[in-house]
Structure 1
Amino acid sequence: MILKPRTVSTELRFLRHLSRRSMLAEKDVLNYSNKEKGLEGERRFDKCLESLSNETLILHDLLLEHGSHQFFQIDTLMILQRVIYHFEVKNYQGVHYIEKDKWYRENGVELTNPIHQMKRCATLLNKFLQPLHIPLPIKSYVIFIHPEITLFQAPRHLPIILPTQLKAFLKKLNSEAFSSKPIFTSKHEKLANYLLTKHMEDFPYTRVPEYDYDQLQKGIPCCGCSAFLSFFNKGKLVCRSCGYTEAAESGVLRSVEEYKFLFPDRKMTVNSLFEWCGKVVSPNIIRRVLQQNFKLISKGRSSYYV
């Protein structure tokens, strides 16, 4: 049973929007790529967990704080009758190796040790849950989810699950879930509710590239390839790059939501959205979308939508 689904972080949403409308700096491009790959891996793992029974409580993307400014993020937490599983998901691809407790890509570039990341998170989670006095042990694993990962010189004792081990590991979890009754008790509900109420939506210090309205490209980005759509006949938008088509109202609504997200302090007017959408659809279509989805604040020529 999924109590908290996975969501797209605010930082990644910013990077997605800005990457379509501007040239990101090299460091931001790398950060964006890593976050997309990370989310892809986490969703792949989520798909694997769908094979489990409902005798589990699952929470994805928990952001918690212990003490003063000790933030930690849990990719997936699974609560069973007698144990809590904590999973750190890695979407590493290609050849990697370990030497003297250090992790490297095949080209020799050193990586942050995922075991150290996992252990830090597990330590803070243990401390975080101490006030509840719930006697459930926490078992932590790093899940390598990409099927094309090769890891050389990994000690056998490491708490890692490779793709070839995942099927058997999930089978083990399923058997643990069915092994005892009753499944959920008041202590499990107390734990789950505590985690949900303490979850933070975003890191307080999320780093977002600086951007300016005038410097962003105007238009309606394609859902398929992120090129900008052109107006077609019969109220359709078309991407001349990949052939994707979309109803004009749908494309406008996506762009309006993007405008609201990037510029929450700017007023939504027909003229401002006409400009933001690159003037590829008529003001009448934009007005219709705004009227159907937002509330009009009527102030004569200064009317706007919220």
Structure 2
Amino acid sequence: MVIKPYQEPPLLELLRCLNQRFELPNDERQQYINLEKGQQGEQKFSELLENLTNDCLILHGLLLKCNNTLFQIDTLHIFENMIYLVDVKYYEGDYYVNSGNWYTLSKKEIHNPVLQLNRCVSLFRRLLQKYGANLPVEGYVLFNHPEFTLYHADPELPIILPNQINRFMKQLHGIPSKTNDQHMRLAQKLLSDHKDESPYTHLPEYSYEQVKKGIVCASCHSLSTSLIGSRVICNGCGREEKVDNAILRSIKEFMLLFPDRKITTNTIQEWCRVIKSRNTIRRILGKHFTIKGHGNYAYYVNSDQRDDE
């Protein structure tokens, strides 16, 4: 049973949207690339777990705190007599291990994922002690990019390579388990202690004036789009989209990037750029949002949003 399903990190959605309209600084761009890769790996693994048939409680994407230290768990499996903690890595390319250190083939040292796993498992065990739970915990780093290769690794390392994933899934399927209310209370406690946002993530400074305007192609993410009739056409890949859908999607992007700015007809027309008809913008806003104010002071809010202004 999936207690906490996999969800794309909100930060990733925001950075992806910003990346299409703004040149991210190097640190934030690397953060964005890492999040994209992580999302692909975790989503693939979550899809594999959908076929798990034995009695197991699954929680994806936990951010927990123990002894004032934050730690993240990609996937947690609570069985009757065991907890499996899995850290998913979507690394691509060739790597090797030398004297406990991890490197790319170009000899660039990377963070040792096994050390990261051990830290996470240790903190989680201490958290279980605080909860009064005494289930043993096993941790694994799972590499699920099909083109990942690791050389010179100790066979005793708690890692699962791409060609071992099917075997690992069979291992999970074969664990006898019958969870009860005590296991469910543990899962709910973990869920209630989950932190929604890490304080260590940060966004670059950006303003409305700095970001590029236009309708982003839903396929290739290009801003080179045009309005032809009632459809928005990408000049790059040729993707066509109904104008209503394209505008509504662009409004959602605007709200994500600028949650404190008012949604007005003029602003959304400027934001979409290729839409010249204010009536089209007004019609879509009126259909999906609630108008507040009158005349030049009119703006729109979500239909279920309370506004005290």
For the residues of structure 2 that align with 1:21 and 1:246, how far apart are their CA atoms? Answer: 19
Pairing partner for 2:247 from 212, 235, 252 = 252
Which structure 1 residue ranges, 4+ long, deviate > 3 Å from structure 2? none
For the residues of structure 2 that align with 1:94 and 1:197, how far apart are their CA atoms? Answer: 38
The answer to whether the 8 Å contact 2:102/2:111 transfers is yes
* Aligned: 1:278 with 2:269: no
Task: Please state whether the residue corresponding to 1:214 is helix, strand or coil.
Answer: coil
Name structure 2 gaps, 5 residues minimum.
302-309
The answer to whether the 8 Å contact 2:226/2:274 transfers is no
The residue number in structure 1 matching 2:199 is 204
The residue number in structure 1 matching 2:29 is 29
Deviations 1:96-117 (CA, angstroms, capped at 9, x unpaired): 1001110000000000000011
**How far did residue 27 of structure 1 move?**
3.0
The answer to whether the 8 Å contact 2:96/2:103 transfers is yes
For the residues of structure 1 that align with 2:270 and 2:58, how far apart are their CA atoms? Answer: 44
The one-letter code sitting in structure 2 at the alignment partner of 1:251 is A
Task: Please state whether the residue corresponding to 1:23 is helix, strand or coil.
Answer: coil
Aligned runs of 1:1-306 on 2, under 5 Å? 1-53=1-53, 55-68=55-68, 70-176=69-175, 179-180=176-177, 183-228=178-223, 229-233=225-229, 235-306=230-301
Task: Please state whether the residue corresponding to 2:232 is helix, strand or coil.
Answer: strand
The answer to whether the 8 Å contact 2:2/2:57 transfers is yes
Deviations 1:150-194 (CA, angstroms, capped at 9, x unpaired): 111111110011111111111111110xx24xx221111101101
For the residues of structure 2 that align with 1:10 and 1:284, how far apart are their CA atoms? Answer: 32
Aligned CA RMSD, in angstroms, stands at 1.4
Task: Please state whether the residue corresponding to 2:286 is helix, strand or coil.
Answer: helix
The one-letter code sitting in structure 1 at the alignment partner of 2:15 is L
Q: When the two structures are superposed, what TM-score results if normalisation uses the length of structure 2?
A: 0.93
The one-letter code sitting in structure 1 at the alignment partner of 2:244 is E
Name structure 1 gaps, 5 residues minimum.
none
The one-letter code sitting in structure 2 at the alignment partner of 1:170 is M
The one-letter code sitting in structure 2 at the alignment partner of 1:152 is Y
For the residues of structure 2 that align with 1:285 and 1:77, how far apart are their CA atoms? Answer: 48
For the residues of structure 2 that align with 1:289 and 1:264, how far apart are their CA atoms? Answer: 19
Task: Please state whether the residue corresponding to 2:209 is helix, strand or coil.
Answer: helix
For the residues of structure 1 that align with 2:251 and 2:219, how far apart are their CA atoms? Answer: 18
The answer to whether the 8 Å contact 1:218/1:278 transfers is yes
Identity %: 42
Aligned residues: 300
The answer to whether the 8 Å contact 1:146/1:163 transfers is yes
The one-letter code sitting in structure 2 at the alignment partner of 1:282 is S
Task: Please state whether the residue corresponding to 1:213 is helix, strand or coil.
Answer: coil
The answer to whether the 8 Å contact 2:86/2:142 transfers is yes
**How far did residue 297 of structure 1 move?**
1.1
**How far did residue 40 of structure 1 move?**
0.8
The residue number in structure 1 matching 2:307 is none
Q: When the two structures are superposed, what TM-score results if normalisation uses the length of structure 1?
A: 0.94
**How far did residue 281 of structure 1 move?**
4.9
**How far did residue 82 of structure 1 move?**
1.1
For the residues of structure 2 that align with 1:204 and 1:26, how far apart are their CA atoms? Answer: 19
Task: Please state whether the residue corresponding to 1:155 is helix, strand or coil.
Answer: coil
For the residues of structure 2 that align with 1:163 and 1:29, how far apart are their CA atoms? Answer: 27
For the residues of structure 1 that align with 2:196 and 2:103, how far apart are their CA atoms? Answer: 32
The answer to whether the 8 Å contact 1:134/1:187 transfers is no
The answer to whether the 8 Å contact 1:231/1:281 transfers is no
For the residues of structure 1 that align with 2:271 and 2:204, how far apart are their CA atoms? Answer: 20
Deviations 1:96-154 (CA, angstroms, capped at 9, x unpaired): 10011100000000000000111111111112222221221111000011111111111
